[in-house]
Amino acid sequence: MRLEVPAVIAMLQEGTLKPASIDVGCINVMRLRGEPTVPTPVAKSVHEGDGFYVNSQLVDVKRRRLWRGCELVFEGSCAEGDLAIFEGGQKWTCEQSSPFDTVRFNLPFEEVSRFALENGRPGFEGFNCKPGTIDYIVRGLALALLPSIEDPAAASPVFLEQVILAMLTHLTQNYAGLYFPPRKAGVLATWQERRAVEFLAAHISTPFSIADLAAECDLSRSYFIKAFGVTFGKTPYRWLMEFRLVRAKEMLKEQYTLADIAAACGFSDQSHFTRAFVGATGTSPGNWRKQSK
């Protein structure tokens, strides 16, 4: 689901806010900057559905206040390069009292999850970014996008896509615990990684041997097991179990029965599915379904 772009208020009328934005697929990138002389609300926003605001500060900010609903959650200064990631489904209000320049990425949960899954990392649950985190890589990527944000008509779609992919890789690896190894000896080649993921996904509910999987990548069984572990940070079995649970969560959002989900996702029966689900999430499939509505 596309996230709602924040509704900018107050400062537009005063002429002190200079917003600009560009869409890269279903990801919106917005630059917010201004020079308020008195405490002034910048934006009030509510996410519709799951998603994230990723804010990168381009300059030092002397004083700002941030509310979640009616709760004041931050008051103070922010350094250049400060990275903040806010969860969706909540109302955020920001008040600026000094010059600021921020780039905000609006990331739908489905888009980040799809990116992770397409790269063979099916375990994305969300981000964990501590307050006060300085991240010059995200700031650098934000700076690279500024000319495109200011003049979308002149932007290169290929360049925009590559910057967003680099940012998603960085965010999911550093703030979501997903593992992307450097390309070196002992890891699967890109084509082998893709072939292994496609094979596993195609065999979510049908039996296969590791020898069959290794043969798809033109490798011996022993070398494949080691290279897969280095590439993904887990065994093929663990990868497939996580993929099954991701697929199960997608089906839980629909009207499928637990027995149907268990069969479609490769679990031996409903009891096996429930045990695996509780072990991974700490709650039963039925409770998860109720909480996700």
Taking Cα atoms as reference points, which of 169, 145, 172 lies closest to residue 157? 145
Confidence of residue 103 (pLDDT cuts 50, 70, 90): very high
Determine the pLDDT at residue 44: 46
Taking Cα atoms as reference points, which of 247, 232, 235 lies closest to residue 201? 247
Phi, psi of 208 (to 5 degrees): -160, 165
Residues 6 or more apart in contact with residue 13 via CB below 8 angstroms: none
Taking Cα atoms as reference points, which of 72, 67, 70, 75 lies closest to residue 93? 67
Determine the pLDDT at residue 274: 93
At residue 65, the 3 state secondary structure works out as strand
Give tens-digit pLDDT for 178-213: 877 776 778 898 889 889 998 998 989 888 889 999
Determine the pLDDT at residue 187: 86
Determine the pLDDT at residue 137: 94
How distant, in Å, are the alpha carbons of 22, 64, 111, 224, 233 from that of 187?
37, 46, 26, 9, 10
Give tens-digit pLDDT for 71-81: 888 888 889 99
The structural domains of the chain, ordered by start, are 7-175 (2.60.120.10), 190-292 (1.10.10.60)
Determine the pLDDT at residue 39: 55
Higher pLDDT, 28 or 12: 28
As a whole number, the mean pLDDT across the chain is 83
